Amino acid sequence: MTRSRYSIIAILTALALIVSTGVATAQESDYKEYQPRSNKTEYFWIAFDDEVIVITAPYDDTFRSYEMPIESVRREGADLRLASDVRFTPDGLEIKDQLLPYDEIVDTRVREDGNKTAILFLRSDATGPDYARLRRGNMLEPFEDMRIEEGAFVRGFVISINGDIDVFGEVNKDIISLFGNVYVAPEAVARGDVVSITGKVQIARDASVYGIVYTGTQRQAGKSRRFYRQVEETELTIDAYYNRVDGITPLGTFRYSDRDSLLPSVELQVGYAFESKRSRLRGGIEQVIWRKIPMAIGGMAYHELATEDDWVIGTDENNAFTMLFTEDFRDYYERDGGYLYFRIKPLGDLTVETGYRYDETRWFDAERDLWSLFGGDKKFPRNFHTAPEPFRRQGISDIDTSANAMVSLSATYDSRNNRELYEFSGWHFDGRLEWSDDHFSSDFDYRRYRLTAQRYQLIHSRIMVISSVMFGGSDGYTPMHKRFYLGGLGTLRGYKHKEMIGKRFWMGNLEYRFRFPATDFALSVLYDVAQISNDSPLNGDVEVKQSLGAAFYVGDDFRLSLARRLDRGEDNDLQFYARFEQTF
């Protein structure tokens, strides 16, 4: 780095100081079993079996019980009515002319009461800070569906009256949906009991449930695979990647994260690339500034090997091809710089991020004679070998010793179940925009965008239709490493890898997937179509590229496929692909 090194360090240092001085420390009281003499007292409780519901609540300075058959539960407008004088409203449990607000609930207990399951709701006599402490971390939405995202930690309970609850993260206390469904996903953690009176409780095979699962018709012991919970997590990992530019590159990564957002998360990665003889460094800091609507600021500095091909194939899968078969499906350049960003998650499945990035880039040739297990005498291709000459020579000059500064905006909406991708329908939208300009201290002047919409539609338990539409475009002077490449793996199957290059494109992919019953095998029919050009508009003058193929799945990720291009009578041999991860 030259122009940017000190400014980036200064910005990151200022950011760290602002974050660290604005962070308040908090200490939580240890979890204690309920004792009648504490400031938690009985509020009301609900006992149930597969036939009746009994609600016991205070009335005229005493407790009264109301018994109702389960079949009497019905939705009336905004309310859920159990009997003529017992109903759940958006504000609380209403019995006769008395309202018991949900806001008074500070804790729950689930226990067996004879042949019934009883849910005890507790309130508190505390006021001020003590009352706020007791309620901290609880989540209650009477009639709305709730979703605990992967990586999220809920300190208290999660309660819904009539909404569904999907848990992909970790919940420290009870999960209760009185008349809705509960789903605990693979790798999710429920440290309390899981309860539904009339709904369905579904626990994934790899989920961890420490309590008991209760429904109106069954009880079953939970299963636990983790033995403690650390709100603050410190992690040290050793990893490596292998590609045709850096060769084998071991990496050591230190991460510190505070799941309750009391302190900033920090990451530091150090490695060394033996073929390019370069250190590889990355450091970052992120602070959540609002938890109700997740909002964070952060920054990072790096000296690393970069690629624009992550949307086609991930690092782990590419490592496998490189080490096994002398196949590297990504092109690379070195970047030295930093990134400052602001991220917000206004909805459970929607994430929006904007930031400023400054990169000084450098070109590296491929090390073509690197080793692979089954490659024999095969050599790795040149870096950016599919780009035509003399455009490639100009692209090398653009990358080497240039500065690229940009403002970026990205938005991602993902309602898929990414751990059980073919079990549920879902949407995935992704939009990315880059704006590089000399006003940002950049050597380039262009705007570039890519929009993706995908639908995973489950027809029934064994058939899924997967469709994807993608648009991309750029204007101004777009350098070689920022152009769009189509063909082969992850794009237009049946064509040579990255065979086509352009400044604008559209692409559609369609897959009809059939899973064989009682097996981990599936069979798919594939169809791809696209147009791509550099300076021409995407109209009838630009050739439409098409391919047709089939794939055989073993499990959800590993698949073998064959595809053929449909736009010519020669040089259209079947292309064979193996994939180890699911992209599309």
Lowest mean pLDDT across 12-26, 271-285, 292-306, 448-462: 12-26
Mean pLDDT of 100-123: 88
Helix ranges (H only) for 107-207 are 128-135
What is the SS3 assignment for 177?
strand
Residue 27, domain member (yes or no): no
Query: Which of 221, 252, 268 is the last residue in one of the domains?
Result: 221
Q: Same structural domain for residues 180 and 329?
A: no
Average predicted confidence (pLDDT) for the chain? 87
Q: Same structural domain for residues 196 and 51?
A: yes
Q: How far is CA 111 from the centre of its chain?
A: 35
Residue appearing with tokens 């064959």: 562
Closest by Cα among 503, 345, 482 to 411: 345
pLDDT value at position 97?
Answer: 82
Task: Name the pTM for this structure.
Answer: 0.68
Query: Which of 156, 188, 221 is the last residue in one of the domains?
Result: 221
Residue 429, domain member (yes or no): yes
Question: Is residue 584 predicted with pLDDT exceeding 50?
Answer: yes
Question: Is residue 401 predicted with pLDDT exceeding 90?
Answer: no
Residue 471, domain member (yes or no): yes
pLDDT value at position 53?
Answer: 92
- Number of domains within the chain: 2
Q: Same structural domain for residues 206 and 336?
A: no
Q: Same structural domain for residues 353 and 217?
A: no
pLDDT value at position 232?
Answer: 54
Q: Same structural domain for residues 464 and 570?
A: yes
* Top-confidence range, 20-29, 201-210, 352-361, 575-584: 352-361
pLDDT value at position 265?
Answer: 92
Angle at 126 between CA 122 and CA 129, to 5 degrees: 120
Mean pLDDT of 206-218: 80
Of the two residues 376 and 409, the one the predictor is more confident about is 409
Q: Tell me if 545 sits within 8 A of 563, measured CB to CB.
A: no
Q: Same structural domain for residues 534 and 398?
A: yes
Residue appearing with tokens 């590889």: 280
Q: How far apart are CA 542 and CA 501, in angstroms?
A: 13
Query: For 150-277, where are the E strands, in sequence order?
Result: 153-154, 158-160, 165-167, 170-171, 175-177, 182-184, 189-190, 194-195, 201-203, 208-209, 212-214, 219-221, 232-243, 247-258, 265-273
Q: Same structural domain for residues 215 and 320?
A: no
pLDDT value at position 287?
Answer: 92
Lowest mean pLDDT across 96-105, 248-257, 436-445, 466-475: 96-105
pLDDT value at position 127?
Answer: 65
CA dist 371 → 101, 162, 168, 242, 381 (Å): 68, 59, 40, 10, 13
pLDDT class of 13 with cuts at 50, 70, 90: very low
pLDDT class of 51 with cuts at 50, 70, 90: confident
pLDDT value at position 128?
Answer: 61
Residue 359, domain member (yes or no): yes
Lowest mean pLDDT across 1-5, 63-67, 216-220, 335-339: 1-5
pLDDT class of 204 with cuts at 50, 70, 90: confident
CATH number of the domain to which 475 belongs: 2.40.160.50
Q: Same structural domain for residues 173 and 318?
A: no
pLDDT class of 559 with cuts at 50, 70, 90: very high
Residue 255, domain member (yes or no): no
Q: pLDDT tens, 182-195? A: 999 988 999 999 99
Q: pLDDT tens, 249-260? A: 999 999 998 765
DSSP per residue, 44-71: EEEEE-SSEEEEEEEETTEEEEEEEEGG
Q: Same structural domain for residues 66 and 215?
A: yes
Closest by Cα among 194, 197, 206 to 165: 194
Mean pLDDT of 432-437: 97
Token pair of 154 as six digits: 């809920």
Largest CA distance in the chain: 89
Q: Same structural domain for residues 316 and 217?
A: no
Residue appearing with tokens 């002319």: 97
Residue 56, domain member (yes or no): yes
Residue 400, domain member (yes or no): yes
Query: Which of 221, 247, 271 is the last residue in one of the domains?
Result: 221
Q: Same structural domain for residues 315 and 215?
A: no
pLDDT value at position 260?
Answer: 58
Q: pLDDT tens, 334-357? A: 999 999 999 998 887 899 999 999
pLDDT class of 447 with cuts at 50, 70, 90: very high
pLDDT class of 563 with cuts at 50, 70, 90: very high
Q: How far is CA 18 from the centre of its chain?
A: 28
Specify the long-range contacts of residues 251-257, CB closer than 8 Å, at least 24 apart.
251/280, 256/232, 257/232, 257/233
Closest by Cα among 139, 174, 129, 198 to 31: 174
Residue 3, domain member (yes or no): no
Residue-number span of the structural domain to which 374 is assigned: 311-579
